[in-house]
Chains A and B, each alone.
Chain A
Amino acid sequence: MDLTDTPEEQEFRARLREWLAIVLPTLPPKPSPDDWPGRRAHDLGWQRMLYDAGYAGLHWPADAGGRGATPTQHLIFLEETERAGAPYVGAGFVGLLHAGPTIAAEGTAGQRARWLPPILRGEEVWCQGFSEPDAGSDLAALRTRARRDGDDYVVNGSKIWTSHAEVADWCELLVRTDPAATKHRGITWLALPMDTPGVTVRPLRTLAGSAEFAEVFLDEVRVPVANRVGDENDGWRVTMVTLAFERGTAFVGEVVACRRVLGELAREARRTGRWDDPVLRRRLGRLNAEFRALWRLTQWNVSEAQASGRVPGVGGSVFKLRYSHARQELYDAAADVLGDAALDLDRPWVLDRLSSLSYTIAAGTSQIQHNIVAERILGLPKGR
C-alpha cells in the first residue's frame, strides 16, 4: 500500500500544475448557466486548450488519439484541474466520457477517424439519447423504433433528460430495431446528427430554474446505417461496455470540490458565529471524515483498476451511492450554516443545494445502484 506519487507521477503532476498556472488566467469568464451558446463555446475552448497542450483524451487509448495515461495519472489530472479551479468537462462530458470511449472500443476504423478527433479537439458536442419518458431507470424498456429502409434507419420516438441537446452536434442514440426480441436484445446504437430533419429539441426547466436538459422528439428521422456502432441488435452490450466509465470516474473532480466547499462553509460559520454551536461543528467534522474517505475510496478504486487493468466497473456503484448521498448532506449542512439566507437563490450554495437533489437520480438512481451492488457484487438473487 502506497499513496505517494511515483517519480513519473510527480513529474506529470508538476508539469500539469505549471501549465494550469499559465493558462487559467487567460480563460474568458464563465458564461451564465442559461447562455447555452456561451457555455458551448467556453467548454469547447477549454477542450481546445487541453488538446493543444497534449492533455486531451488523457485516459483514452493511444490508438484512439488519447494519451493512454494510467488511471492514476487521470486521477491526478482531475484532482489538479479541480484544485486549480479549471472548468469542468461541461458540454464535452458525453463525447469524452461516454460516446468517445464507446466508439473507441466498438467502432470501425472509419468511425473512429470520423468522430474521435473532433471530440478531442473540442469541435463537436455529443449528447446522450438513452432515457425515454416511459423507460427511465428501466433503460432497456426503451421504445424508440428504427426500421431499416435501404441504407438508412428511419427513427420514430422520443428521448428525455438529454443534457446539452440544444447545442449538441451528435447524439448517441439507442433505438429498438427488433421489437419481437426480448428487451435487452433488439437494441441498436446509432450516431445521430442533431441537425437531421425530424429532430426537435424542447428544453426542460429543472427545479433549480435552469434549462439543464431537454426532451428530444424524433419524427421519421433518417440515420445512415453507416452510423451504426456495433452490430444491429447488439446495442445493449455496446452500451454496457462504457457505462462503467460514467459511474467509475465521473465524480472524481467533484469530491475535491466538495472538500473545498466544506472548508468554505466552516470559515463562513466562524465568521457568523455559528461555529460556536458544537452540533454544527461536529456535523462538519463528520462531513470532513466523509469526503476524506470518499477521496480515499476513489484512490482505492483507481489503484485497483490500474492493478487489474480494468475500468472501475461495479465498484463505481458503491462510490456513487455513498457520494450522491454525502453531497446532499453537504449542502443541507450549508443551509444550516446560512440560516434563513438559505432561502435566497442569490446566495452561494443555494443553487448547488437544489442541484444536489439530482445526484441520487441521474446516471442510475440510488435504488438501481443498490440493486446493482446487491445482485452483481454480493450475488443476491434477482427478484421476480
Chain B
Amino acid sequence: MRFHLSEDQRALRAGVRELLARRFNAEALRAAVERPGLDRALWRELGEAGFFALRLPEADGGVGLGLPEAVLVFEEAGRVLLPGPLIATHLAAGTVPGAAAGEAVVADVDGGLVEWLAEADVVRGGGTPLPRPEEAVPLRSVDPLTPLHRWTGAETWPCDPVGVLLTAAEQLGTATRACELAVQHARTREQFGQPIGAFQAIKHLCADMLVRAETARAAVYAAAVTADALDIAAARLLADEAALRSTRDCLQVHGGMGFTWESEVHLHLKRAWVRAERGGGVTESEECLAAELVD
C-alpha cells in the first residue's frame, strides 16, 4: 500500500497550483466578480495545460493520466474558486469536439439546474432532443461566479459518478482554503491585546476545520484510487460537510469582516452551496451507503 502521493503527483499538484496562482489569483477572482462572464482566453489556457484532456488516452491526444490526478487538479481549482463548467467540459472531452482543447465550453443539465448555460457552446442533457434554451429560466444565482438556469423541462443528464467525485475534490479544495484563510486571519487579527488565534474558542473552530478537511481528503483520494461507487458516495458526503461547515466557520472566525462583500469568504461559502446541489444530492448518497449495510 502506497497511499501517499507519488513524486509525479506532487509535481503535478505544484504545477497546477503555480499556473492558477499566475492566472487566477485573488485580484483576478475579485475582477471576475465585478465583470461576470467566462474568460475564454483562460479557458483555452486551461485546455492547453491539459485540464480537460487529462484522462483522455495519449493516443487520442490526451494526457493519459487517471482519476487520482484529476482529483488533485480539481482540488486546486476548488481552492482558488476557478469559475466555469470545468467538470462538465472535462467529462465531455473526447466526446464533444473542442472540449479537450478548451475550445468549446460544455454545460450539463443536472437535476433542474444548468450552470453557465449562456456561455456554453454545447449543452448536454439526458433527453433527445434537448429542450429549447428559451425554456430555461435564469435564476439570480446566489454565487456571483456561477450563473444558473432552471430548466425543469429537460431530462437530467445521467449523474456521472466521476462528476460527483470531481465535485467532491473541488469541495475539498474549498474546505482546505477555508481553513487556511481562517488560520491566517486568526494569527494576525488582534483583539483584547493578542491575536484571536490565542483564544481557545477560535483555536477549536480552526482545529475542527483541519480535521474535517483531512478526513474528507482521505475519503476523496481513496475514492479516486478505487473508483468504487460507495467510496465515491462517502467522499461526497465528507467533502460536502467539510466545505459547507468550514466555509461557515471561516466566516465566523473573520467576524464582521467575514460578513462583507469585500472579503472573499462569502464566495467560498456560496460556491460550496452550489456544488452541494450537484449530482443527485446528499440523500441519494446516504441511501446508497445505507443499502450497502444490509446487502
- Residues on A lying within 8 angstroms of B by beta carbon are 1-6, 9, 72, 75, 262-263, 265-267, 270, 275, 278, 281-282, 284-286, 288-290, 292-294, 296-297, 299-300, 302-304, 306-307, 315, 318, 321-322, 367, 369-371, 373-375, 377-384
Contact among A288, A307, A384 for B234, CB-based, below 8 A:
A288
Number of A-B contacts (CB under 8 A): 175
A285 in contact with B197 (CB, 8 Å): no
Q: In the complex the two chains form, is B197's CB within 8 Å of A303's CB?
A: no
Evaluate contact between A383 and B199: CB separation under 8 angstroms: yes
Taking a contact as CB atoms under 8 Å apart, the answer to whether B293 and A262 are in contact is yes
Q: How far is the CB of A245 from chain B (nearest CB, A)?
A: 19
- In the complex with contacts A378-B206, A380-B186, A380-B197, A299-B293 CB distance below 8 A: no
Whether A294 contacts B294 by the Cβ 8 Å rule is no
Do A371 and B203 touch (CB < 8 A)?
Answer: yes
Given A289-B233, A296-B219, A383-B199, decide whether A6 and B288 contact each other with a Cβ distance below 8 A: no
Residues of B within 8 A of A (CB): 1-6, 9, 68, 179, 183, 186-187, 194-195, 197-200, 202-204, 206-208, 210-211, 214-219, 221-222, 224-226, 230-231, 233-235, 237-238, 283, 285-294
Chain B residue with the shortest CB-CB distance to A308: B4
Which residues of B have CB within 8 Å of A367? 200, 204
Interface core residue of A3, A6, A262 (most chain B CB under 10 Å) = A3
Known contacts A1-B224, A262-B293, A288-B292; is-contact A293 B219 (Cβ 8 Å): yes
- Whether the pair A300, B234 counts as a contact (CB closer than 8 A) is no
Chain B residue at smallest Cβ distance from A275: B294
Compute how far the CA of A367 lies from the CA of B207 in the bound complex, rounded to whole angstroms.
10
* Complex: A315 Cα to B210 Cα, angstroms: 10
- A-side contacts of B194, CB under 8 Å: 381, 384
**A294, A297, A303: most-surrounded residue (chain B CB, <10 A):** A297
Contacts of A75 in B (CB 8 A): 1
Task: Report B-chain residues with C-beta under 8 Å of the C-beta of A281.
Answer: 286-287, 290
In the assembled complex, the CB of B286 is this many whole angstroms from the nearest CB of chain A, namely: 4
User: Assuming A293-B234, A304-B3, what are 5 further A-B pairs, CB within 8 angstroms?
Assistant: A3-B226, A270-B294, A281-B290, A293-B235, A299-B222
Take A266-B294, A292-B234, A297-B214 as given contacts and tell me if A374 and B203 are in contact as well, using a CB distance cutoff of 8 Å. yes
Residues of B within 8 A of A379 (CB): 183, 187
With known contacts A378-B210, A381-B187, A292–B231 Cβ distance under 8 A: yes
A321 and B221: CB pair below 8 A? no
**Contact of A294 with B215 in the complex, beta carbons under 8 Å:** yes
Docked Cα-Cα span, A302 to B108, in Å, equals: 39
Q: Is the CB of B234 within 8 A of A1?
A: no
Flag if B4 contacts A1 (CB, 8 Å): yes
**A275 to chain B: which residues have CB within 8 Å?**
294
A-B contact pairs, 30 of them (CB 8 A): A1-B3, A1-B221, A2-B3, A2-B225, A3-B222, A3-B226, A4-B1, A5-B1, A9-B1, A265-B293, A270-B294, A275-B294, A284-B290, A285-B289, A286-B237, A289-B233, A289-B234, A292-B222, A293-B238, A296-B222, A297-B218, A302-B1, A318-B214, A322-B211, A370-B208, A371-B203, A378-B179, A379-B187, A380-B198, A381-B195
Task: Point out the residues of chain A lying under 8 angstroms from B287, CB to CB.
Answer: 278, 281-282, 285
Please indicate the chain A residues that have their CB under 8 angstroms from the CB of B285 in the complex: 285, 289
Give the residue name and chain of the B residue nearest to A321 (CB).
B211
- Closest Cβ of chain B: how far from A121's Cβ, in Å? 30
